[in-house]
Amino acid sequence: MKREISFANYKDLPPEELEKLPVQELARALHEAIKEWDKLNQRLNQDSTNSNQAPSTDSPEAKAKRKAEEKASNPKHGTRKQGAQPVSVQGVT
């Protein structure tokens, strides 16, 4: 009879019991735990640019980062700030 190998089966075992288990079994459980951790980490890093979420669900930091990237990639934007600009003395006669 084969046992189901998963991290959940081993997380509550005391260290003495873990020492009695075969290394291959523990290695498989560790591999499964790492895969699950990767999957959860990918979900944590999702935002509207890499998923089907609406942009309004992004965090304020993500919105600011996206806006800064858009500004930097758009060649139409110059280095001047919005609003009235100082008058150039060279052009006035």
Question: Does residue 41 fall inside a structural domain?
Answer: yes
Question: Does residue 14 fall inside a structural domain?
Answer: yes
Question: Domain of 40?
Answer: 1-46
Structure tokens at 90: 């060279």
Question: Does residue 73 fall inside a structural domain?
Answer: no
First to last CA, the chain: 96
Structure tokens at 7: 């991290």
Q: For residue 73, give the 3-state DSSP assignment.
A: helix
- In this predicted structure, what is the pLDDT of residue 4? 58
pLDDT at 1 over 50: no
Which comes out higher in pLDDT, residue 91 or 52? 52
Question: Does residue 55 fall inside a structural domain?
Answer: no
Q: What are the tens digits of pLDDT across the range 4-18?
A: 556 667 778 888 887
Question: Does residue 13 fall inside a structural domain?
Answer: yes
Mean pLDDT of 46-63: 82
Question: Does residue 74 fall inside a structural domain?
Answer: no
Q: How far apart are CA 51 and CA 48, in angstroms?
A: 5
pLDDT at 29 over 70: yes
pTM here is 0.48
Into how many domains does the chain fold?
A: 1
